[in-house]
Structures are given as C-alpha cells and as structure tokens.
Amino acid sequence: MIKLTILGCYAATPRTLTNPTAQLLEIKNHMFLIDCGEGTQVQLRKHKIKFSRINHIFISHLHGDHFFGLPGLVSTFRLLGRDKELHIHGPKGIKEAITMLLKLGDSWTNYNLYFHEITAKESVLVYEDDKVTVETIPLNHRVYTNGYLFKEKKGLRKLHVEAVEKYKIDKVYYQKIKSGKDITLDTRETISNSELTIDPDAPKSYAFCSDTAYKPDIVPIIKNTTALYHESTFLHTQEDLAVKTKHSTAKEAATIAKDAEVGTLVLGHYSTRYKSIELFKTEAQEVFANVHLAEDGKVFEF
C-alpha cells in the first residue's frame, strides 16, 4: 500500500486556510517529502508526522511556493538535535540557496546534509535501494522543473501455506522459498517453487507532476502508474492563462491520465480564483473517470 498525505495543494501564495505545495509519501516503510512550500513544517506537526522519519526530500523546482519552507525545516531539524543524515534532491541551485541562508545565519546543521542536484533534461534515476526507485519526470515550466516517479520493486513471493504444510517443510527454509528457490525434501524429491508459492502483490507506483504546461511526451514515463498527481491550476476556460504561465488545465491533466492509463488521477495546485475546486473534478471527469481532488490534510491510500 502507498499512503499519500497532502500537506498543501494550492498555487502561489499561502492563505489562512490553504497551503502551497507539499506532500508526504509513505512507500515500503519510507517517508518521502515531496516539495516544501511555506508552512510545511507546521502541517507536518498538525498531522503528527515524525520529523525523524524524513530522510529524503524531493524538490521539483525553485519557485517559492514549492521550496520556501525548506530552509526553515532544515533549521528545525538542527534545533531538534537531529543526528541522522538528510538528503535533498532538486534542481541545480538548491544547494546554493539553502547553504547561503545557513551561512548568513551561522547555523550550520549538526547532522550531515547532502544535496543531489539534477540537471538532466531526460528522465533519470535519482534514488534506489532494495525496495524503491525514484526517477525524474521532465516537465515544462518557466524554470527547470522535474516531477518524480516513485516505484516499488517487486517483492518476495508469498508462501502457499497449505502446500508448505502438506510437505512438512521446516520454517528455516521459508525465506529461501520466498526468494524463489525450489526445495529438495529428505526423500530427495524436489518440489518446485511454483507449487510452494504464489505471486507477490503487483508493485505500486506514484507519479508527481507539478508544475507544468501540458506535456504529452511524459506519457511513456508514467504509463500504467497506480496513481498520478497532476497540477490543474486552471479550468479550460482559462486555457490562455495556462499557456502563458506554463501551467495545465484540469482537462489537460485528465488527458494525460487517460493516455497513460493510470489507475487514479489526483488533481491539485488550484488557482484560488475559483469559487469551488469541484469545478476541476467535473471538468476532468469528462475525459477520465477516476478523478480525486487533493485537499490540504487529505490522505489517500492506493
């Protein structure tokens, strides 16, 4: 299961009841922070999220509503006595922006702070361990911008309990079986792994795309993704503003979701000019059925 907590999902300036972009993604026992607009650490506290569990932060681009909360969060980690290393992934310039503030305030972290700056114009792998991979999704905005694709790796096979008990196989061999190995019994009979196991759950994935103009060439990168978050700053009636500011409409986000055959589309990054965000869902569902609206504090499980 993938758990997504929306900490902020509105465009431009923070307001009393809405926050700029920030998300927390829980996947395979990892807790990844995606973007860090103003007020992110307050939102983290509000939703009782342990700061110590965040070890990797992914920043899409250097517009304030997506990273102005980061210097404060880095500083708070220091004040809380953090000793674990922290990794920040983002566009070239993120290191200079954060370290300049730390230098001017004479507040260097007392933990190791690593920056992984991205400059590639094509999709590249930026993180990998034994459970998860993270790749960039090149986007088209007014400054260099990437989305991120988080993917689970295929897990171990599951034990077919009845078959294992039938052959009275000792528990000491269970890990070997789940790793895909056949088992030879004391009778020298070999039992194939396919008889002793069942397929693991299909790996899940999550694609984060904000901010960007309509960019259909990302479809192959996010094809068949379990869930897609795609910005929808404007409605189709303001398509001219979307083109001018290099943002997307709800209809365009839905078209991307449809063409990529994703499981679920989550809309966000709404302009505050509209009276109701339900208008975005209505527009998108004319193109793609399974649409949900991001809202500050809302939690999704996929």
Active-site residue numbers? Answer: 65
Residue 83 marked in a binding site: no
- Measured CA to CA in angstroms, residue 112 lies from 35, 78, 85, 145, 236 at distances of 20, 10, 5, 26, 46
On whether the CB atoms of residues 181 and 135 are closer than 8 A, the answer is no
Residue 87 marked in a binding site: no
Residue 89 marked in a binding site: no
Residue 35 marked in a binding site: no
Residue 217 marked in a binding site: no
Residue 269 marked in a binding site: yes
On whether the CB atoms of residues 229 and 209 are closer than 8 A, the answer is yes
Mind giving me the DSSP string for 238-273?
GHHHHHHHT--BHHHHHHHHHHHT-SEEEEE-B-TT
- Compute the distance between CA of residue 186 and CA of residue 169 in angstroms, rounded to an integer: 10
Residue 211 marked in a binding site: yes
- Compute the distance between CA of residue 154 and CA of residue 300 in angstroms, rounded to an integer: 22
CA 108 to chain centre: 28
- Compute the distance between CA of residue 44 and CA of residue 26 in angstroms, rounded to an integer: 13
Per the annotation, binding residues are 61, 63, 65-66, 141, 211, 269
Binding-site annotation: residue ranges for Zn(2+): 61, 63, 65-66, 141, 211, 269
